[in-house]
Amino acid sequence: MRTFDYNIEYINNDSIKSDINSRLVSDITYYEKIKNEVIQSEDLNNVISNNISHINFNNYITFIINKNIVNLDYSIIPDYINIIQYYINDDVNNFNINNIENIIVDINNIDLSLNFNTKYNFRYGISDGINTFWTNYTEIITETEFINLNLVILNITSNTVEISWLKLYDSDYLIQISNNTDFTDSKPIPFKSQKTRHIIKNLNPNTEYFIRVGQKLETNYIWCNIINFKTLIKKKFLGLF
C-alpha cells in the first residue's frame, strides 16, 4: 500500500506552486494522486439560486390579453432551459396534471391562441437539465368572443324596449338585459331561432340598461357586443278640475 507524505491543495491551474521538488530524494520512486472537486446537486442549486437572485421572479411575465390571444413578455435567462407552463383552471379541480402545457422558449416574447372566456394559470421556470426553478402561478382570464348580430334598438318607452338582431345561423338565442355590464343581476331569456325581434317589458322609467343577444353555436352561446339605452321619463297626466 502506497502512502503519501505530501498533501498539496491547488485552487486552479494558475495557483499550482509547490516546493515539492526541493523535498525529493534521488533513487526513490514517487507516485502522484490528483483529487478533482465535483459540485454536487445541492451545491448546484445554490449556484443557480445565487445567479438569479437579482431577478424579481414572482412578477416575471407580463400579459397582454386581446380576446383569446395572450401575449407573454419576459426575459430569457441565458445558459438555462427557459420554460413557460400553463393549464386551465376550472375552479373545481383547479389543477389537472393531464392538462399542463410546457413550452420551451428561446425568444423574449410569444403569442398564444387560447380558449375564449377561460381562466388559466401561468408560471415561468428555468432548468439546468436536472433541477427546475419556478415562479409563482399567475392567473389570467381570456376575453369573451363576440359575434356580430347587428343588434339595434327599435323603440324605447318609459317601461319597454324593442330590439332586433340579425339571424346568422339556424339555432336558438339568448337575450339578457341588466343594469350593469357584467350582467350579474339577471338571467338570460331563451328564444327559438325563428325570432329576431323582441319587446322587453316591465322596465323602470328613466333607468339605464345594458343588453346583449347570444347565438347558440354547437354547445355554447356566443354573445354579441353590448349596447346600452335609457328608458324614458314616465309622463304625468294632470286630472281635470
pLDDT per position as a tens digit, 35-49? 433 333 333 344 344
* 72 half-sphere exposure, CB direction, 13 A CA radius: 29
| Ranges 25-34, 132-141, 193-202: which has the least confidence | 25-34
Q: Please, where in the chain does CATH 2.60.40.10 lie? A: 46-141, 152-230
Q: Is 3.10.590.10 the CATH number for 152-230? A: no
Mean pLDDT, range 190-216, rounded to an integer: 89
The architecture of the domain spanning 46-141 is Sandwich (2.60)
Compute how many other C-beta atoms are within 10 angstroms of the C-beta atom of residue 213. 28
Distances (CA, A) of 64 to 55, 77, 88, 127, 142: 21, 21, 17, 26, 10
Higher pLDDT, 49 or 98: 98
Burial status of residue 86 (CB atoms within 10 A of its CB: 0-12, 13-18, 19 or more): buried
Residue 11 pLDDT: 40
| Ranges 21-25, 149-153, 185-189: which has the least confidence | 21-25
